[in-house]
Structure 1
Amino acid sequence: MTVDSPATPGPVRRRRGPVDPRLWRYSRSARGYLVLSVALSLLIAVTVIVSAVMIGTILAGVITDSGARSIGDWTVELAVLAAAVAVRTATTWVADRYAHRSASRVIGELRGEVLDAATALTPRDLGPRRDEVATVLTRGIEGLRAYLTGYLPALLLAVAVTPLTLVAVAGADLTSAVIVVITLPLIPVFMILIGLLTKDKAAAALRTMTQLSAQLLDLIAGLPTLRALGRERGPAARVRELGDTHRRTAMASLRIAFLSSMVLELLATLCVALIAVSIGLRLVFGEMGLRAGVIALVLAPEVYLPLRAVGAQFHAAEDGMAAADKAFGLLDERAAATPVGEGAVPAGAVVLRGVGMRSRTGWAPRGLDLTVEPGRVTVLTGANGSGKSTVLQLILGLDTPDEGRVLVGGTDVRDLDPRAWWRSVSWLPQHPVLVPGTLRENLELTGPVAVTDGDLRSVCAATGFDAVLRDLHAGWDTVVGVGGLGLSLGQRQRLALTRALLTDAPVVLLDEPTAHLDPESERAVLAAIRGLAGSGRAVLVVGHRAPVLAAGDVVVTVGTEVPA
């Protein structure tokens, strides 16, 4: 098995042209939708031309031939006209129905692809983009629905219907075709000018929406604390300011959309009127036949209609494509990833040699040498921001050091199969992950707990989680919400610590395991950690409290380097 490692983020490639080819590359449903849409657009173009020819033939015949004015004289033409109208109606209905279904499938596929790409990013790369990714995955990429159901069908109709109807107009009346050729480019020119202005508005709307959502999520997460301190109304002004900014940018985009639609409609109406006046004058002076004039007049609006529809749908789809462009940037980074090795994880110590990691303020850590041996407790200490948690991420292979190497049993961690390596590690992060469900489901989040009830009670007693269970009527069947909602911060930490100490993994990484514990519970937890090392596990603990340092067989201080 080969696993892609995240590539170093590069500049996001800008979208080119009205249709982003990356959409078809990353979504199988989008490719099928494109093929069917092209076929339906061609069918609609044929029905438009057939309908115009039949209308012109019937009207010209009825007016000029006094002996052919009964329905029976035009049975074939009327049947062809009715069939063309019916086929066009049915085709349009099928296109609309399939567009909505395909849009849902395409959005679902892209959302899954982007989520996979985001989870493959290193913590250092994902951190600055977390809010942006969350906005794209939730509300942003949903804007593609307007693109797929409105803009794209209109664009394909413009590509299929406009050239074919122009050829039909030229076959009926060359003068009208010349007028169309002269006036038709005016609509794309105005569309481009308006689109350039709208693009900046759409980017601004997405940016303010990202800021607003991030602010609201932070506010909701910290609302219990703010309320306890009597500061729940403090962020109201900032949230109101962001909301007003988003409202102004959204309204600016809507104003441009409404005005541009009016401009395009007026322009197309004037162009059709010019053709109609030309046809009328030539009919009066006998310079063209009635049949040709009627066909050209019926087809003239059909030439401009698809381009008008493209202009009207462009603004509705621009917000979605702005978000999709950021999504495609993530997918492009994943596509550029390189495969890593595979196979079993070698046994032995975890060794860091000259490891350094760049940070915003310099290096954290820099030149770190560390050996985590089985059967020993190694304590990693240092000042805040020195890179202690970063060291754990490097050992896990979640990030790649800018300097030095991380070795597991003599093998570089980058050459290991990530999934096999992660199964060999028990990791307690600073902010443990809890999912909606029962306490037992969260206990078994990383796999079934293969211990006896006695061992489970012993570990719960060591972490103090047994007292938590006694206060809960449902015990292990107690249901918690997102992020462990329903438990206090200390209770969440005790649950995650219980999960980490029940592991049979040979390597145990604990980041501040006693941060929210009282001294008595801390002593019990440190004794349990010593017991893990005594059973042959390689234990690395991040901490700075004196009891934690005293429990370590080896204490390593992490150093940093700030550029002069």
Structure 2
Amino acid sequence: MASTDPPPARRFSGPVDPRLLRYAAASRGFFVAIAGIGFLQTCVIVAFAWLVTQAVVTAIAGGDLMPIVLPLAGVVALRAALIWLRELVAARAAARVQGQLRAQLVAAVDRLGPGWLAGGNTAQLAVTAGRGLGALDAYFGRYLPQLAQTAIATPILVLVMWWMDWISGVTVLVTLPLIPLFMVLIGLATRTVQQKQWETLRHLAARFADTVRGLSTLKVFGRQHRAVASIQRVTDTYRRETMRVLRVSFLSGFALEFLASISVAIVAVTIGFRLIDGSLGLAVGLFVLLLAPEAYLPVRQVGVQFHAAAEGVAATDDVFAVLDAARTAPERRTAPAPASGELVVSGLRVHRGERVLPPVSFTAAPGEVVLVRGPSGAGKTSLLAALRGAADHDGSATYGGTPVATLDPSRWLAWAGQQPGLVSGTVADNVTMGDAEPDAALVARALDLAEADGIDAHRELGVLGAGLSGGQAQRVAVARAFYRHLRGLGPVIALDEPSAALDAETESTLWRSVRTLADGGAAVVLVSHRVSAAQIADRVVEIVPVEVTA
């Protein structure tokens, strides 16, 4: 797994990123629904203030309250129902948008190809797709509904106040912009610290994944304690960044509440003085006074809810960066893979950063085993990476006369790399990975050919194949390649150091199995430094390292 960071995301500084509407169709209906609910809530707020005002005035005059109490109770019930409906719509929209974005993220990674994925950090991508998109619950459940409520309720309430009492309307218009001004300033600070926290979390995930992967090597050289100390430092950094986010959130909440309280107090004082001198009636004054906090509340709550949604916003920036890259990437055309044919590699030179590896040329026909040898770093593994589309290269590589770059590698190549690449599930699940209709008989045959017949196919494995030794995991990975060939999904078998963790006797048996598959019609490309591999090879390709810069 590479340690490089994914491409930087294009940050959007507006309230709602328009790419959300483009990539998540469920968000469009959500905005329509939430706008309609917001308008109804605003009408209910005005009705509630008016009914409460009438109840107070009637009570002071000694009138009958019953004609007012029942409508007031209905308005209260309707307001509660609208709040419940808004939460329901937001929760469902968040779930649907998360599903759509995750599906589009997987599709984007598939379009960008294994070469792009090899240049990033899969642990960071997993954090983004998992916890990051999970944080959209707060974004859809709190921030966006409050934003819609603000855009609808505030203008309507200010207009109603202006219509009833223009002095109070002017007071609100003068003081109200102070809240968005401070909210923008605080929001910029929040976005900065939140982004640092998110980057630290991604870095922590990548560091932890790399440490777990190389833990056995670290223990052999006695460096496991240094790795623990490194993770602890990143964890402390994440803790400090989290506390900084909380400090900014609490201070911003206090500032917004203070500004709103002062603004409402100014409106209340002006109304009080005019009630005393008789220039304003009690009904109008009380009605406007009840609406004043409601006019400031939506704007204030937008700033408060922005902090809860900041992590989800940061994650969507990273997701949108991947989706944007996939949109601009050239579309990979996948031609039908020939049922059989020769693999012809001519002058293939793999690019590794600024390095250009030496050219490789060979032909692997059905029934042949081509052994690729060379010193460490010569480019043997990179050659197989280029064949499956995981590395940039010059030169040509065709299978059955069709360039392999236009073929889906899962339809013509059965590959087993140096890393087993096992996942949680049974051994059979790992062997049949990618097969919609697994064949139990072929699973047993593949395990037998890979000298893994002693491993129960129904055995449950943990993360990364936990529960198997290194040699067992490697044999299961080889069995997966054999299964794909036996299933007719991989006429070409590519094996990268398949016997690295095997003893001499098991290795000898494995070579016989490879020879058997080749004699049965498979074209085999075998990368191995073992001398014994030459005994089954029809042709040996020597790669001599040459330092060339791009």
Query: Is the shorter-chain TM-score for this pair beyond 0.5, marking a shared fold?
Result: yes
SS of equivalent to 1:287: coil
Conservation of the 8 A alpha-carbon contact between 2:26 and 2:97: yes
What amino acid does structure 1 have at the position aligned with 2:417? P
- Deviation of the 1:557 alpha carbon: 3.2
**The one of 87, 104, 116 aligned to 1:113:** 104
Tell me how far apart the structure 2 counterparts of residues 192 and 435 of structure 1 sit (CA, whole Å).
46
2:470 alignment counterpart:
489
Report how many aligned residue pairs link the two structures: 536
Alignment of 1:338-377 (within 5 A): 338=331, 340-345=333-338, 347-363=340-356, 365-377=357-369
Tell me how far apart the structure 1 counterparts of residues 292 and 186 of structure 2 sit (CA, whole Å).
24
Tell me how far apart the structure 1 counterparts of residues 78 and 290 of structure 2 sit (CA, whole Å).
18
- Deviation of the 1:486 alpha carbon: 1.2
Give the 3 Å change call, closer, same or farther, for CA 15–386 of structure 1 in structure 2. Answer: farther
**The one of 442, 451, 465 aligned to 1:464:** 451
Cα deviation per residue 1:69-93 (whole Å; 9 max; x = unaligned)?
Answer: 2325xx1x44433332221121012
**The one of 434, 446, 453 aligned to 2:422:** 434
Tell me how far apart the structure 1 counterparts of residues 360 and 9 of structure 2 sit (CA, whole Å).
33
Cα deviation per residue 1:416-452 (whole Å; 9 max; x = unaligned)?
Answer: 3x2xx52332111111232333333433335445868
2:160 alignment counterpart:
168
- Deviation of the 1:182 alpha carbon: 1.0
- Deviation of the 1:229 alpha carbon: 7.1
- Deviation of the 1:343 alpha carbon: 3.2
Give the 3 Å change call, closer, same or farther, for CA 452–322 of structure 1 in structure 2. Answer: closer
Structure with the greater relative contact order (CA < 8 A, sep ≥ 6): 1 or 2?
1
SS of equivalent to 1:351: strand
2:287 alignment counterpart:
295
Give the 3 Å change call, closer, same or farther, for CA 110–462 of structure 1 in structure 2. Answer: closer
Tell me how far apart the structure 2 counterparts of residues 489 and 129 of structure 1 sit (CA, whole Å).
23
- Deviation of the 1:126 alpha carbon: 1.7
Conservation of the 8 A alpha-carbon contact between 1:377 and 1:553: yes
Give the 3 Å change call, closer, same or farther, for CA 481–252 of structure 1 in structure 2. Answer: same
- Between stretches 263-272 and 497-506, larger displacement belongs to 497-506
Q: Which consecutive residues of structure 1, in runs of 5 or more, have no partner in the other structure?
A: 1-8, 470-474
SS of equivalent to 1:385: coil
1:563 maps to 2:545: no
Alignment of 1:209-288 (within 5 A): 209-223=201-215, 232-288=224-280
What amino acid does structure 2 have at the position aligned with 1:513? P
Give the 3 Å change call, closer, same or farther, for CA 26–296 of structure 1 in structure 2. Answer: same
What amino acid does structure 1 have at the position aligned with 2:72? L
Q: Which consecutive residues of structure 2, in runs of 5 or more, have no partner in the other structure?
A: 1-5
Tell me how far apart the structure 2 counterparts of residues 214 and 348 of structure 1 sit (CA, whole Å).
41
Tell me how far apart the structure 2 counterparts of residues 166 and 154 of structure 1 sit (CA, whole Å).
17
Give the 3 Å change call, closer, same or farther, for CA 236–303 of structure 1 in structure 2. Answer: same
Give the 3 Å change call, closer, same or farther, for CA 224–120 of structure 1 in structure 2. Answer: same
Alignment of 1:173-212 (within 5 A): 173-212=165-204
1:332 alignment counterpart:
324
SS of equivalent to 2:524: strand
Tell me how far apart the structure 2 counterparts of residues 449 and 272 of structure 1 sit (CA, whole Å).
73
- Deviation of the 1:11 alpha carbon: 5.9
SS of equivalent to 1:430: coil
Cα deviation per residue 1:196-217 (whole Å; 9 max; x = unaligned)?
Answer: 1111111111111122222333
Conservation of the 8 A alpha-carbon contact between 2:55 and 2:65: no
1:478 maps to 2:466: no
Tell me how far apart the structure 1 counterparts of residues 94 and 373 of structure 2 sit (CA, whole Å).
52
1:544 maps to 2:529: yes
1:94 alignment counterpart:
85
Give the root-mean-square deviation of aligned CA atoms.
2.7
1:51 maps to 2:42: no
Give the 3 Å change call, closer, same or farther, for CA 91–374 of structure 1 in structure 2. Answer: same
1:18 alignment counterpart:
15
- Normalized against structure 2, the TM-score is what? 0.89
1:71 alignment counterpart:
65
1:529 maps to 2:521: no
Conservation of the 8 A alpha-carbon contact between 1:355 and 1:401: no
- Between stretches 339-348 and 184-193, larger displacement belongs to 339-348
1:4 alignment counterpart:
none
Alignment of 1:383-462 (within 5 A): 383-396=375-388, 398-399=389-390, 401-416=392-407, 418=408, 422-447=410-435, 448-449=438-439, 456=445
Conservation of the 8 A alpha-carbon contact between 1:428 and 1:496: yes
Tell me how far apart the structure 1 counterparts of residues 447 and 161 of structure 2 sit (CA, whole Å).
83
Conservation of the 8 A alpha-carbon contact between 1:543 and 1:549: no
- Normalized against structure 1, the TM-score is what? 0.87
What amino acid does structure 2 have at the position aligned with 1:355? L
Tell me how far apart the structure 1 counterparts of residues 539 and 546 of structure 2 sit (CA, whole Å).
20
Identity of paired residues, percent?
37
SS of equivalent to 2:540: strand
Conservation of the 8 A alpha-carbon contact between 2:355 and 2:547: yes
